[in-house]
Chains A and B, each alone.
Chain A
Amino acid sequence: GAVVSQHPSWVICKSGTSVKIECRSLDFQATTMFWYRQFPKQSLMLMATSNEGSKATYEQGVEKDKFLINHASLTLSTLTVTSAHPEDSSFYICSARGFTWTSGDYNEQFFGPGTRLTVL
């Protein structure tokens, strides 16, 4: 099936630093990419939706100046957590939507493996 990669898979940083997470669709063009956050034992929570070449749409309660999303190409989106604090420690997951010959559908979503962020 289609593959979505994330980098890094885990990161530990000091409070106040910025962290960039990359999400790539490896074998298809992602029309839309989604960024999720998941706290332990909880469901995924959508943070923002981004379409290539346009500004991301953030969910209510998600600070756009803190979580910067760039979707510069059809295969790459980045999430930058600026001035990270311990409460930002979480599991960040991206997904990508786009046509694949495997699914024969534009609406299938493929998930990345996630990035575990720990802010000390």
Chain B
Amino acid sequence: KNEVEQSPQNLTAQEGEFITINCSYSVGISALHWLQQHPGGGIVSLFMLSSGKKKHGRLIATINIQEKHSSLHITASHPRDSAVYICALRSGGSNYKLTFGKGTLLTVNP
């Protein structure tokens, strides 16, 4: 079993829809990152979470440490949100290495 599982793998939505991408993990972590990768490859760090909830614009990220689960929400989705969204775990201690999920490919149609 992978340490980090994302769902769904692929998601197609209509512009304006509310999007939820899920990330479940099986190991103890010190933080969880949500990343966005557009076609062409560049990666943008959206959030780093260790507890609770963070909001930035139309993006909301939540994490439940006890349940080992995090969600990324996009409100009022737009075609420019089309990208791969990646959940990445950082384990505890002085090791800052990330373990990456396989990503969720989001396509938002106009």
Contacts and interface: CB of A to CB of B under 8 A. Distances in A.
A99 interface: no
Interface stretch (B11-19, B61-69, B70-78, B95-103): B95-103
Given A105-B48, A111-B35, A32 B41 contact: no
B41 A43 contact: no
B96 A107 contact: yes
B45 interface: yes
Q: Is the interface of B mostly helix, strand, loop or mixed?
A: strand
Number of contact residues on A: which range applies? 20 to 34
B100 to A, nearest CB: 4
Interface in A64-120: 91, 93, 95, 97, 103, 105, 107-114, 116
B31 interface: yes
A59 to B, nearest CB: 9
Nearest to A2: B45
A15 interface: no
Contacts of A107: 30-31, 48, 90, 96
Most buried by A among B35, B43, B48, B100: B43
A107 B96 CA distance: 8
Nearest to B105: A41
A29 interface: no
B42 A113 contact: yes
B86 interface: yes
A44 B4 CA distance: 13
Nearest to A115: B41
Interface of B: 30-31, 33, 35, 41-45, 48, 86, 90, 96-98, 100-103
